Amino acid sequence: MEEACKSSLNFFSDQQLCHADVLSPPEVIARIQVAVLNFLRILTSPAPAISDLPLVTRKSSNCRLSQGLLTQTSWIFLTNAFSTRSLARPNAAKAFIRVWKVMAMCSQILGQEKKVTQRELFYKLLCDSPDYFSSQSQVNRTVQDVVALLRCSRYSLGIMASSRGLVAGRLLLQEPNQGVVDCAACGFSGHGISGDLSSIDSLIMKTDARYIIVVEKHAIFQRLVDDRVFNQIPSILITAKGYPDIATRLLLHRMSRAFPDLPILALVDWWAGLWCVLACNVKWLGVRGDDLELIPEQALVPLKPKDLQIAKSLMSSEILQENYREELTLMVESGQRAEIEALYFHGYDYLGKFIAKKIVQANYI
């Protein structure tokens, strides 16, 4: 366990924050081989045993917020707390075996200099090991386990992001030795974000925008692009069509680094879109509690029991900003949520005016 801690990132003097390394295929294969050799060494020792697999805990209780000392930039990290996968525990035995099977498959993929999506990986494992893999969620969790065990990125394992994301507006994109893509000229569908993370990493980007607007919903994104809101408000629009995939998050991260002076604003439902504004350095533009006066009461939607459970869990989180906690408290007390589409009560062209007014007034948190 002590050796596993050495690759952690020291944070001040009292905390160690973990990170996933971006590695070349030979380096990942070497880590897999070391894991196998350590397992065999313990298994064939004078006091043989089947060792547990030490994984960095991914629970919210293991998260910490790191705030920059000289800037307002902040990051969410996992600290050096561990959980295990054990063959000795009946309820964890299959999960233990899945980790080894995924590592074996990743070693094979990297040895062939290939890349696969998690969906492709699922069907391969389903055919090869049907007793251990019966659903996509099992593969997804196991890939996360392998990342937590080997301390390397998912892409380093040879697993590509399957992107749903789109970008539009005042942004020029160019891959090395390729033509320039003008994201303002891609129609209301926008420009599809590549699932190849190395391609996103190598993008050359230029913009004259003043804002980056993250749009939770695909239909809202299409409305804003069709209305060419990015000309009225010089901006870049980006959406993941719901919960953000890795490729869309990486492009947003790249833009935040390339254009550090541009505020990143989120247009999301008053509730379901909260995943987005919880990301570091993203400001919540709307819909928020003070926008409810713009929405007819009959357009508000009752919170489901699961919504209330998630809200209470978020409210207890140490990394939640106080103004977000106040929004959640209001949601729970009202027992209702509001969707962006409810603003169409004022007309289909109202969204652009709504965004412009809030930006001019700096009405975001």
Q: Which tokens belong to 129? A: 């090991």
DSSP annotation of 291: G
Considering the candidates 123, 324, 344, 348, report the single residue annotated as catalytic: 123
Res 70: pLDDT:
42
| pLDDT tens series, the chain, 365 aa | 334 333 333 333 334 445 677 889 999 999 999 989 988 887 787 776 666 666 655 555 555 555 544 445 444 445 555 555 655 566 778 888 899 999 999 999 999 988 888 889 999 999 899 999 999 989 998 998 898 888 888 889 998 866 789 999 999 999 888 889 999 998 888 999 988 888 888 899 999 999 999 999 999 999 999 999 999 999 999 998 887 888 898 899 999 999 999 999 999 998 855 665 556 578 999 899 999 999 998 889 998 888 888 888 778 777 777 888 888 888 888 888 899 999 998 888 899 999 999 999 999 98
For residues 181 and 169, is the Cβ–Cβ distance under 8 A? no
In angstroms, the CA 184 to CA 143 distance is 36
Res 210: pLDDT:
96
**Among the residues of the chain, which ranges form H helices?**
2-5, 25-43, 93-111, 118-128, 136-150, 197-201, 218-226, 229-232, 246-258, 274-277, 305-315, 322-334, 350-360
- For the chain, domains (ranges, CATH) are 25-157 (1.10.10), 166-361 (3.40.1360.10)
Res 154: pLDDT:
85
In angstroms, the CA 152 to CA 308 distance is 35
In angstroms, the CA 29 to CA 157 distance is 9
Res 117: pLDDT:
86
Query: pTM for this one?
Result: 0.71
123 is annotated as an active-site residue: yes
For residues 340 and 268, is the Cβ–Cβ distance under 8 A? yes
